[in-house]
């Protein structure tokens, strides 16, 4: 019985940390068999923390459903084993420094001469060419170098996005490109080489603030507000609860002015009738909205906003997420047998959610069986 659309696809991944493991975890969720190649000391993400019942939270999140094989690429026997694995693979993924696989005789061109159906995907900080190609690159370094930190945080100073957003975005870009390549291979019968630059990925995501800055309107950090939409920000209720609300267009503003602000004249007032006008008069708009929210309790404003069909959210912390009534969770089994509850994978296909009830591998857990299978 097929366990997913990628059932039968063999992925060999020479991976560590977040970007490549994110990509291959999603391929594994879709049914691919993922052979995770680890150094003798293991993926260093195994040691990031012990938050998941003594195991690394990062490792649990990104390595469910994979098989772990320990390989020393400087060892002749292990090198032969890796070649044998790649010869039978559909996809080879890695996030080593540019040129690292080529120096081991495992570069994309050489591997595709042995296996012309092979899809190779390399994830690196700055790509294979250009003035920064040889630099070491990690998530926060790219956040800073790309300018992402400059538009994140409050007015006083830049900030890191609170998750490994560059790694995650790069892993998602790699997954998408691999799926496209599998479709293409189904037509041509041949594999291809994919290169993903973390810097390029996040630069693309920064297109809107880039274009604003290029036009002479450099975005300013404004915390939990929106630089291009008003009103869009956090306001406090009479009982001290923070509410983040968003008015996306002038039609919504008319309803908001009538039903929430109880000031229908603001809908037609030229100072406030368009988003451009509201941005120019943001201080007045925000003060008016703040006063309207402050008159009501959280329960009351929730009822009013729902009735007006206004988009809004509570401002939660991680405790709030853990207790959230809308949160879907799954359990991942640990090598020692216990299991840990965490947010479920987002994709639901034909009513089934991907990645349910999987397991993370112990370091080298599958080395012996993979050696036997691949003849080394």
Query: How far apart, in whole angstroms, are the C-alpha atoms of residue 146 and residue 162?
Result: 16
Q: Of 189, 188, 299, 285, nearest to 237 (Cα)?
A: 299
DSSP 7: T
Q: Of 5, 4, 12, 2, nearest to 191 (Cα)?
A: 12
Place of tokens 């879709």: 30
Is 342 among the residues known to form the active site? no
Q: Are strands 329-333 and 232-236 parallel, antiparallel or unpaired?
A: unpaired
Catalytic residue among 79, 94, 212, 226: 226
Q: How far is CA 203 from the centre of its chain?
A: 15
Return the structure tokens found at 66: 């994979």
* Cβ(64)–Cβ(71) below 8 Å: no
Query: How far apart, in whole angstroms, are the C-alpha atoms of residue 152 and residue 159?
Result: 5
Query: How far apart, in whole angstroms, are the C-alpha atoms of residue 111 and residue 118?
Result: 8
Query: How far apart, in whole angstroms, are the C-alpha atoms of residue 247 and residue 289?
Result: 11
Could you give the residue numbers annotated as active site?
A: 226
């Amino acid at each position: 019985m097929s366990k997913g659309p990628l059932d039968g696809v063999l992925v060999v991944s020479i991976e560590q940390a977040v970007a490549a493991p994110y990509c291959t975890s999603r391929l594994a969720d879709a049914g691919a068999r993922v052979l995770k190649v680890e150094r003798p000391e293991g993926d260093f993400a195994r040691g990031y923390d012990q938050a998941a019942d003594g195991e690394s939270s990062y490792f649990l999140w990104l390595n469910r459903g994979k098989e772990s094989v320990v390989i020393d690429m400087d060892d002749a026997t292990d090198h032969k084993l890796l070649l044998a694995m790649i010869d039978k693979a559909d996809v080879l993924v890695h996030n080593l420094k540019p040129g690292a696989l080529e120096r081991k005789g495992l570069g994309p061109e050489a591997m595709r001469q042995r296996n012309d159906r092979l899809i190779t995907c390399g994830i690196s900080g700055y790509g294979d060419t250009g003035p920064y190609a040889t630099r070491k690159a990690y998530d926060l370094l790219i956040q800073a170098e790309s300018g992402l930190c400059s538009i994140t945080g409050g007015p006083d100073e830049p900030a890191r996005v609170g998750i490994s957003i560059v790694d995650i975005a790069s892993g998602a870009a790699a997954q998408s490109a691999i799926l496209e390549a599998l479709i293409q291979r189904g037509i041509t019968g041949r594999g291809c080489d994919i290169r993903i630059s973390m810097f390029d990925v996040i630069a693309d995501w920064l297109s809107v603030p880039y274009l604003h800055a290029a036009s002479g309107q450099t975005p300013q950090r404004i915390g939990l507000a929106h630089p291009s939409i008003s009103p869009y920000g956090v306001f406090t209720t009479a009982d001290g609860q923070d509410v983040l609300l968003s008015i996306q267009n002038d039609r919504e503003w008319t309803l908001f002015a009538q039903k929430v602000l109880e000031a229908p004249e603001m809908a037609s007032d030229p100072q406030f009738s368009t988003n451009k006008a509201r941005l120019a008069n943001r201080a007045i708009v925000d003060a008016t909205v703040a006063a309207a929210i402050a008159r009501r309790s959280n329960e009351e404003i929730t009822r009013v906003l729902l009735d007006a069909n206004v988009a809004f959210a509570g401002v939660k912390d991680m405790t709030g997420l853990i207790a959230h009534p809308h949160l879907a969770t799954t359990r991942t089994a640990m090598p020692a047998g216990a299991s840990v509850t965490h947010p479920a994978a987002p994709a639901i296909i034909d009513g089934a959610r991907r990645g349910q009830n999987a397991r993370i591998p112990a370091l080298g857990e599958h080395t012996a069986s993979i050696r036997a299978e691949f003849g080394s």
